[in-house]
Chains A and B, each alone.
Chain A
Amino acid sequence: MTEALVNVEHLSRVFDVSKPWLNRVLERDEKKFLVAVNDVTFEIRRGETFALVGESGSGKSTIAKLIVGLIRPSGGQISFDGKNVATQGSSSMRQLRSRFQMIFQDPFASLNPRWRVKDIIAEPIRTFGLEGEAVNWQKRVDELLETVGLSSGDGAKYPHEFSGGQRQRIAIARALSAQPEFIVCDEPTSALDVSVQAQILNLMRDLQDEYGLTYLFISHDLSVVRHMATRIGVLYLGRLVEVAEGKTLFKDPQHPYTKMLLDAVPDLEMTGRARKPVEGEIPNPIDPPTGCAFHPRCALANERCKSEKPELKLHGTTETACFAVDEGRS
């Protein structure tokens, strides 16, 4: 189980958010860049659920899009099963592409409203030419619908006839139809109500057991992440601040940001607890603080944190990017 399926090394992505050229000339503005993902390195092992958590603007979704190839990295590389995704020729890339799929947040936007459900689900089968000789794709679609808890007759309907939870099931069926090994789930349940969320999370875990899937699970909801993840990476302003085993992260968080985040989550069991008030808000990513991006909000920050960028270092089983932890000040 230690074999890495996806390797992400020094991944960066920069967006140009400058004003148009004429404005820049007239207003004497310089070009502006937003570093959405900054030198991120992690691996996803076969059969595990690797979760990325972080608040808005931390770069979670950008990483998801980079991994499935919807946008190109500005630096660093991603390899899938030992093959560098960026250097693949188009035909081998196509083969590789069929092995990973994505589930999006909003099931209302990710399903084509003019297509019947069976066509939506069969699209990957057709695109990747997986029909085979004798296998009837119709039959495969029916099987998939039943796997995700819908009935085979639902294939003839259109997406608008389904509720949010059912649509997310359709999106899952579509992702499964190419028989992928790896599924990137970008906030798969945040548009759903809690009771429906529970159904989808249970379904995703069942499918993982059945097909040995590997998930990259992206969410801002720590309790959902705790429920799903084997290992967790915590992002803050485009940088990984902590990577740990799921249980360890919640029992023994190292990075001050992780501690703050865990403390801030309202939880059922914590009625009436006294809480340390959280300081400040996420800074503007166009103009991030120098040194450790978290230092303006950190109680442990010193001069070094303001000038130097900490790297991920291994402490026990947890990787943390924090000088306070390195120096034993935490």
Chain B
Amino acid sequence: MSDALLTVRDLVVEFPTRKGILTAVDRVSFEIGRGEVLGVVGESGAGKSMTGSAIIGLIEPPGHIAGGSIELAGERIDNLPLEAMRKVRGKRIGMVFQDPLTSLNPLYTIAEQLIETIRTHLKLSERDARARAIGLLDEVGIPAASRRIDDYPHQFSGGMRQRVVIALALCAEPELVIADEPTTALDVSVQSQIIDVLKNMCAEHGSSVMLITHDMGVIAEAADRVAVMYAGRLAEIGPVRDVIQDARHPYTKGLMGSIPTLMHDSDRLTQIPGSMPRLTDIPPGCAFSPRCPKAFDRCFAEQPSCKAHEDREVACLLYDEGARP
């Protein structure tokens, strides 16, 4: 894919600690095409949010990018100086976080926050910026936007706040929006509204989306392709429908089986024994090998890399020709 908007290659994020170096993201590679929605799923601690933070250059020290490269439209952004990165952030990459209350400043009205952001990135007069802000609020579905724009964040409900955050993320027409668990703090009926808003807004404005969530249902609904992460590594990446219906990696298979669905009756859910290893003791070889029902001797010694397999990439030795026992 030469038309990729974002190319992440062999990204490594490390945290030096007293007990040694923790690898939170371990050689992760993927691409996001223009206008594409890439879902990133995994359980807590899988490194999904860390990957997102690495892309926008917001990893908390002492954590740092220890290897690999991140390219936005062919330009490397992982080694930009702080000031240059600040211009990319917000202008070219928009962000939507989980908790809309913490991403909005409670002391400023929505108007002040939107106008400030718009004028930071675009050369617009105060009045034009305000008109643009009202237009955006209208688009994300806030009723009576021209009146409500002068309200403070606490005067909005959770769902409405998240709409404001989406407007804020999109106000400079970014090429990429990183949405980190955008619906996790919301109720189901509101959650579906927000997914729709996010999807439609990004489609209309031509932004690509990296949608980070632990909820496979949200991914199924919104994403074009999905990347499954496990213990800081990529397990599988491919078109959403294929990954859900015909998972290849044993972890993805287990994960899909363990999600109860609305459509089918099942007496027992598939369960994966054990739990994800802590970053301090990731087993040698494949990180999933101790829990994998199909693991064989090589899995415990050799770390599989993501290899193309038909329509997707899988990091599993079972699919490595000639490696099978």
Interface set of A (CB-CB < 8 Å, partner B): 55-56, 163, 165-166, 193-199, 201-202, 205, 220, 222-224, 226-227, 247, 250, 260-273, 275, 277-278, 281-282
Contact indicator A266/B195 (Cβ below 8 Å): yes
The residue that B271 contacts in the complex, of A195, A220, A226, A266, with Cβ under 8 A, is A195
Say if the beta carbon of B124 comes within 8 Å of chain A: no
Nearest CB on B from A279, distance (A): 9
* B91 at interface, CB cutoff 8 A: no
Interface residues of B in 13-54 (CB under 8 A from A): 43-44
**A201 in contact with B44 (CB, 8 Å):** no
- For window 185-224 of chain B, which residues contact chain A by CB distance below 8 Å? 187-193, 195-196, 214-218, 220-222
- Check B268 for interface membership: any CB of A closer than 8 A: yes
Known A-B contacts A195-B275, A198-B270; the reply to A267 vs B241 at CB < 8 A is: no
Other contacts beyond A194-B259, A267-B262, A277-B192: 11, CB < 8 A? A198-B272, A223-B260, A223-B261, A224-B260, A226-B260, A226-B262, A250-B262, A264-B191, A266-B191, A269-B262, A269-B263
Q: Is the CB of B244 within 8 A of A198?
A: no
**Can you report 10 residue pairs joining A to B where beta carbons are below 8 Å apart?**
A193-B275, A193-B276, A195-B255, A205-B267, A226-B262, A227-B260, A247-B265, A260-B189, A262-B262, A266-B222
Q: How many Å lie between the Cα of A178 and that of B302 in the bound state? A: 48
Q: Specify the chain B residue showing the minimal Cβ separation from A53.
A: B188
Instruction: Determine if B159 and A281 form an interchain contact, defined as CB atoms under 8 angstroms apart.
Output: yes
Known contacts A268-B216, A271-B221, A271-B241; is-contact A202 B269 (Cβ 8 Å):
yes
Tell me whether B258 is interfacial, beta carbon within 8 Å.
yes
Contacts of B254 in A (CB 8 A): 195
A282 touches B187 (CB 8 A): yes
Let me know if B188 and A265 touch, CB within 8 A: yes
Partner pick for A268 among B43, B222, B244, CB 8 A cutoff: B244
Are B187 and A266 touching (Cβ within 8 A)? no
Bound CA span A278–B273, Å? 38
User: Is B256 in contact with A268, judged by CB distance below 8 angstroms?
Assistant: yes
B266 within 8 A of A: yes
Whether B240 is near chain A, meaning CB under 8 Å from some CB there, is: yes
Q: Evaluate whether A267 and B255 lie within 8 angstroms (CB atoms) in the complex, with A55-B187, A220-B188 already known.
A: no
Residues B255 and A194 in contact, CB atoms below 8 Å apart: yes
Q: Please, which residues of chain B bring their CB within 8 A of the CB of A163?
A: 275
Determine the interface band of chain B, counting residues with CB < 8 A from chain A: 35 or more
- A269, B44: Cβ atoms under 8 Å? no
- A267–B187 Cα gap in the complex (Å)? 15
Which residues of B come within 8 Å of A, CB atoms? 43-44, 157, 159-160, 187-193, 195-196, 214-218, 220-222, 240-241, 244, 254-263, 265-273, 275-276
Chain B residues near A275 (CB, 8 Å)? 192, 196
Chain B residues with CB under 8 Å of A278's CB are: 189-190, 192-193
CA distance A277 to B221 in the complex (A): 13
Complex Cα distance A277/B190, Å? 10
For B43, the closest partner residue in chain A by CB is A193
CA distance A60 to B171 in the complex (A): 39
Cβ-closest chain B residue relative to A283: B157
Nearest CB in chain A to that of B196: its residue: A277
A193 touching B214 in the complex, CB below 8 Å, given contacts A55-B189, A198-B270: yes
A-chain residues with CB within 8 Å of residue B275 when the two chains form the complex: 163, 165-166, 193, 195-196
Distance (Å) between the CB of A189 and the closest chain B CB? 10
B43: chain A residues within 8 A (beta carbon): 193-196
Measured CA separation A247–B263 after assembly (Å): 10
Contact with A266, one of B159, B220, B276 (Cβ below 8 angstroms): B220
**B44 CB to closest chain A CB, in angstroms?**
6
A188 shortest CB reach to chain B, Å: 14
A residues in contact with B221, CB < 8 Å: 266-267, 270-271, 273
Q: Which residues of A contact B272 (CB under 8 A)?
A: 195, 198-199
Contacting residue for A267 out of B44, B214, B261, CB 8 A: B261
Is there an interface contact between B262 and A264, defined as CB atoms closer than 8 Å?
no
Report B183 CB to chain A, min CB distance, Å. 9
Residue of B nearest to A203 (CB): B271
Q: A223-B259, A267-B262, A281-B159 are in contact. Are A198 and B269 (CB under 8 A)?
A: yes
Pair A261/B244 contact, Cβ less than 8 Å: no
Query: How far apart are A169's CB and chain B's nearest CB, in angstroms?
Result: 11
CB distance A193 to B44 under 8 Å? yes
Question: What CA separation (Å) do A62 and B273 show in the bound complex?
Answer: 34
A266 engages B193 (CB within 8 Å): no
CB pair A266 B261 closer than 8 Å: no
Given the complex, which residues of B lie within 8 Å of A196, measured CB to CB? 43, 275
Closest 9 CB pairs of A and B: A266-B217, A198-B258, A193-B43, A227-B260, A55-B187, A198-B269, A264-B192, A266-B221, A223-B260
Complex Cα distance, B222 from A282, in Å, reads 24
A37 to B241, CA, bound (A): 41
B260 near A201 with CB under 8 A, answer yes
Min distance, Cβ A190 to any Cβ of chain B, angstroms: 11
Are A264 and B216 in contact (CB-based, < 8 A)? no
Q: Which of B44, B191, B193, B244 contacts A277 (CB 8 A)?
A: B193
CA gap between A199 and B268 in the complex, in Å: 10
Question: A277 to B189, alpha carbons, bound, how many Å?
Answer: 9
Question: Closest chain A residue to B241 by CB distance?
Answer: A271
Q: CB within 8 A of B258: which of A195, A222, A270, A281?
A: A195
- Smallest beta-carbon distance A225→chain B, Å: 9
Distance A220 CA – B220 CA, assembled complex (angstroms): 19
Question: Cβ of B196 and Cβ of A261 under 8 Å apart?
Answer: no
CA distance A165 to B160 in the complex (A): 33
Report which of B159, B196, B217, B255 forms a contact with A265, defined as CB distance below 8 A: B217
B244 touches A266 (CB 8 A): no
Query: With A55-B188, A194-B259, A268-B256 known to touch, is A227 a contact of B269 (CB < 8 Å)?
Result: yes
Nearest CB in chain A: distance from B190 CB, A? 6
Residue of B nearest to A58 (CB): B187
Interface centre among B187, B244, B268 (most CB of A within 10 A): B187
Chain A residues positioned under 8 Å from B244 (CB to CB): 268, 271
